[in-house]
Chains A and B, each alone.
Chain A
Amino acid sequence: MSIEDLDAEELRTRLLEAESNLHAIYSGEIDALLLADENGERRVFTLRSADAPYRALVERMQEGAATLSVTGDIVYCNQRFADLVSVPLEQVIGASIGRFLPSAEGEILRAMLEHGSGRYQTRLVLNGQESTEVQVTLSSIVLDDVEHRTLILSDISSLARAQRENRSKDEFLAMLAHELRNPLGAIQGAVHALGLMNQTEPMSLRATGIIKRQVIHMARLVDDLLDVGRAVTGKIVLKRQPVNLADAVKSTIATISSGNPNNHARVDLVSEPVWVSGDPVRLEQIVGNLVSNALKFTRGDGVISVFVGREGDDAVLRIADQGIGIPADMLPKIFDLFVQAHHTIDRTRGGLGIGLTLVRRLAELHGGGVHAASEGDGRGSTFTVRLPSVAAPKVERDAASKANGSSTRPFESRRVLLVDDNHDSREMYRAVLRAHGHEVCEAPDGERALALLQQRAADSPLDVAFIDIGLPGGMDGYELARRIRKLPACSALHLVALTGYGFPEDRQQSKLAGFARHLVKPVEPDALQQELSAVSRRSH
């Protein structure tokens, strides 16, 4: 519509509008003018009112800011910059940036100015003394068609202090763990020695059992404490070898279950052999922490489902409990150090909040990871560990094919006799051996062991006997071995001595008595299993 076509009323309105707008401009009601330059491009010319907020922001921000020429001359800086370098503002502008930063890093600064970007950390030097730790960040900017540099000085002294304090905390934890280990080792040795003595008082037997269990528990806590520091700072080195994850899980569960006589939660294990390249000790730590957690948070009648097997190229361990679960907001944090999902006032469940951090770091060191899932409070939790799987070692494949079909039980079943007066010890060994599919019978002393052997000789002869040296009732382990060797029906029985002492003369004595092997307590479940796989099964 051209101006001629407008009626008088519209013309009047437009005139009023123009008049009103001009009046607003005259009255200074505006922040900026937009004017065309020689190329017809409109440029923004701000008035003081528009600049003031930016200026206030820049002058008052916590970072020192400066605009530099490409050669490093300061053309502008904010008040904070002058404060940080402790030079009056009027002496900063026009000076070279090199004057305010340590000359030691002059080369870095020059390279950054030339390159147009970069970042480094340094300490400002004030009155000849090093003071504030700062981060220097440089970037490029074009002002009125001329290339400039912007430099930001960030005070990082508080951050650096926090990092230092965090490091000292880690060091303190590591030292504490070391210091705790020594007395624990002594207690462990002493309690073993107690176990070897002829204790008949039920009270002292029970007390010994309690000390033994609690010391093992404490030793594990201390190990975790020590390891979590090392794991977080990257100091753990894996001693890798091919490990059947299913076997590692089975033996760890057996050990834990026997160490928790008060917890009757059932552990349902579904497993298939799957091999990983891993450190057996560390894998046991992963499994141990997850299973202990599941037990800790499950009521006595609950069920813990454990699955080990292959999913794609991964070896997968999945542990699901029916416990108190994890609230959704805790799930992302649950693997952080010292974080616990449930801080109960009575702290009935205890723990330091380091186990899961350790699990995650160890899984990552193995090239895998761990994932937590939960439907929420009271609905249980599921932890899934994924590790890269490797091919089964050749020997193992042969053994597995020979066992034709019994793939979940890579070793042949043996008939085992356990002779030990310590109920807890027997229970532990029994759990481990049964978990590996062996048949176990037990005797608390020499007399009953001999009776059992003769009774079984006719129809189902035993393959191996593990005999504790310190037996009660006048017949110690050596004597028992000598008598067994005289029984014609037991000539092929493989005898293994279990003792707290590993001195050469002890080994010599057990050899003379007729033992084929001499193991020093505490015997690792793996060692027990190796011992059995070395023994051929007798014809039944």
Chain B
Amino acid sequence: MNETCLQTLADLEDSQQFVLRLYVTGMTPRSTRAISAVRKLCDELLAGRYDLQVIDVYQQPALIRDEQIFATPTLVKKGPEPERRMIGDMSNRERLMAGLGLRAEVVA
């Protein structure tokens, strides 16, 4: 039953665009790790069909007004549906994939 909900990479159509927002606070080691981990995963698995924006909540407070962001770093997958969000350390690849709704076994 679990399999039906997680998307396999094989299921992804070329047109499916991953819209990702990564909310961080400045230049902390955690931010830096999160940015590089997310970008690395996207380049490996979603090359050419992802849109990643990194938002510093200090520098651009207007961009969090309508978002349910409680802590940083937070990664939000806005598309494809359903929306997913993940808070905290992003250097754990398995957790990051689950957070993006991607099934680990398919890639492994």
Q: Which A residues are within 8 Å of any B CB, using their own CB? A: 9-10, 13, 17, 20-21, 23-25, 27, 29-35, 42, 44, 46, 49-50, 52-54
Contact = CB atoms under 8 A, between A and B. Distances in A.
Contacts of A34: 57, 64, 69-72
Contacts of A9: 1-2, 4-5
B30 A31 contact: yes
Find the residue from B84, B87, B89 having the highest chain A CB count within 10 A. B87
Contacts of A42: 61, 64-65, 69
B96 to A, nearest CB: 11
Contacts of A52: 28
Given A30-B88, A31-B72, A20 B26 contact: no
Contact of A24 (B24, B84, B87): B87
B19 interface: no
Contact of A30 (B5, B73, B84, B99): B73
Nearest to B29: A49
Which of B26, B84, B98 lies at the interface centre, i.e. has the most chain A CB atoms within 10 A of its CB? Answer: B26
Sort A-B residue pairs by CB-CB distance and give the 7 closest, nearest first.
A24-B88, A29-B88, A21-B87, A32-B25, A30-B71, A31-B25, A29-B89
Nearest to B30: A31
A31 B33 CA distance: 12
Interface SS majority for chain A:
helix
Interface of B: 1-2, 4-5, 24-31, 57-58, 61, 64-65, 69-73, 82, 84-89, 95, 98-99
Given A29-B89, A34-B70, A53-B27, 13 more contacts: A21-B87, A23-B88, A24-B88, A24-B89, A29-B87, A30-B71, A30-B88, A31-B24, A31-B25, A31-B73, A33-B71, A46-B26, A52-B28
A10 B72 CA distance: 25
Given A13-B5, A31-B31, A34-B64, A21 B82 contact: no
A304 to B, nearest CB: 57
Nearest to A21: B87
A35 B68 CA distance: 10
Contacts of B87: 21, 24-25, 29-30
A479 B95 CA distance: 114
A274 to B, nearest CB: 57
9 contacts: A21-B88, A24-B89, A32-B71, A34-B64, A34-B70, A44-B57, A44-B61, A49-B28, A50-B72
A17 B99 contact: yes
Nearest to A35: B70
B26 A53 contact: yes
B5 A21 contact: no
Given A13-B5, A34-B71, A21 B85 contact: yes
A27 B88 contact: yes
Contacts of B57: 32, 34, 44
A407 B85 CA distance: 84
Contacts of B95: 20
Contacts of B58: 44, 46
Nearest to A29: B88
Contact of A10 (B5, B61, B64): B5
Contact of B26 (A17, A23, A50): A50
